A = this chain, B = another copy of it.
Amino acid sequence: MNAPALTKNQALVFEVLEKADGPLSAYTILDKLRDHGFRAPLQVYRALEKLLEYGVVHRLESINAFVACAHPDQNCHSHGIVAFAICESCGHVMEFHDHEVDHRLMDWTRGKKFKAEKTTIEIRGLCEACAA
């Protein structure tokens, strides 16, 4: 899915996520956009839905939060499963891809004839700075 021009609301939500130094919940985004006229959660969720579809934002399932894609130039959807390491202390997120992991999981699903649609890989723990 390639990203068409963003609408006003989509651009606002995306900008907030890009500027943030970590993942944000939908309601946190809402609060940051009240000055721009946002009043209701749906305004955020609807924008997020599109941004996720375009692949420019990722959802972190294990913490109910959203983060701008760390690889804006590439197309995340095109190079396999996206994995995240989430620091539970400072909140920073590292996004990475590992084709070998993709391969192993694909092997498993093929063996089980399971049709994978969306795979979540999230490692929670402490980043180097916080573990010290």
Contacts and interface: CB of A to CB of B under 8 A. Distances in A.
B108 A98 contact: yes
A116 B123 contact: yes
Contacts of A28: none
A123 B106 CA distance: 10
Contacts of A119: 121-124
A8 interface: no
A62 B131 CA distance: 27
A96 B108 contact: yes
Interface string A105-132: 1001100111111111111111110010
Interface of A: 61-62, 83, 85, 87-88, 94, 96, 98, 100-101, 104-105, 108-109, 112-128, 131
